[in-house]
Amino acid sequence: METVVLTFEQNKAILELNRPQALNAMDMQMLTELVDALRKIKESDTSIVVIRGKGRGFSAGGDIKTMLSVDDPSQFRTVMKTIQEMIMLLYTMPKITVSFIHGPAAGLGFSFALASDYLIATNEARLAMNFIGVGLVPDGGGHFLLAQRVGTPKAKQIIWEGKTMSADEAKQLGLVDLVVDSEEQAEQWLASLQEKPLQAMIATKLLYAEQTKADLLRVLELETDAQQRMRQTEDHREGIRAFLEKRKPVFRGK
């Protein structure tokens, strides 16, 4: 089964995460298909990209089973390189990008959404940079993308707390741009976006992206190194055990 569905509709590319049975958790197949889809979108003549998840949520984040199965450091770096390419493609995309979030957007799924120009969330959306719960640090450029929106001190606190935020809480922090009551309201907003001078907007986006993309790439590389180190810690092993056993972890700072 395809884990990513890409369709083109007038001036829009619609990219749907399609692992609804796993809350669209990102395994290696999905990561690879996302990179391929983003490359196709980049070469298309559309001006707007809409990203959404099928089923009950946007994305629960990185697939835990995939992460547990990657013991070989070279395999781990292959996964992380794919994530790097996915985020860089989205962040520098010469289109206006919109992530439409319903239900959970957590971990890597949240980082992926943050790489878009606009985040639109339904009232039922729940957002979390929750890597800390399993003794890890954010990846997918989460450190950089959070700090861009809320500043470094607040980004650190969001990462360290790892709490789940409602759509309204995320909007108050500046992590979400618009909260909607229905998909119809989101479509109305998209219709208004299509009436704007999109090429001028894209030119501004690319100007900023050119200034900052080297910083984002550096953060992605630093996250890979940090994640590799954290995977060797006792706290990470305890976090995974607690997750699988559905209990609260007992961390010891080791």
Q: Whole-angstrom Cα distance, residue 118 to residue 87?
A: 15
Tokens of 216: 């984002």
Tokens of 98: 């919109």
Distances (CA, A) of 65 to 2, 69, 165, 229, 237: 19, 6, 25, 19, 14
- Contact indicator for 99, 118 with CB cutoff of 8 Å: yes
pLDDT band at 70 (very low <50, low <70, confident <90, very high): low
Mean pLDDT, the chain, rounded, equals 95
- Contact indicator for 137, 212 with CB cutoff of 8 Å: no
Tokens of 43: 């070469």
Q: What pLDDT does residue 71 have?
A: 65
Report whether pLDDT(76) > 70: yes
Q: What pLDDT does residue 120 have?
A: 98
Other CB atoms within 10 Å distance of the CB of residue 134: 22
Q: What is the mean pLDDT of residues 4-9?
A: 97
In the chain the domains, ranked by start, together with CATH numbers, are 4-181 (3.90.226.10)
AA identity, residue 169: E
| Residue among 220, 225, 222 nearest 92 (CA) | 220
Would you say the pTM of this structure is higher than 0.75?
A: yes
Query: Which pLDDT tens digit goes with each residue over 99-155?
Result: 999 999 999 999 999 999 999 999 999 999 999 999 999 999 999 999 999 999 999
Report whether pLDDT(10) > 70: yes
Query: Which pLDDT tens digit goes with each residue over 31-40?
Result: 999 999 999 9
- Contact indicator for 132, 159 with CB cutoff of 8 Å: yes
Using alpha carbons only, give the angle 44, 48, 52 rounded to the nearest 5 degrees: 105
- 233 φ, ψ (degrees, to nearest 5): -85, 155
Share of residues in the chain with pLDDT > 90 (%) = 88
CA-based torsion, 168, 170, 172, 174: positive or negative = negative
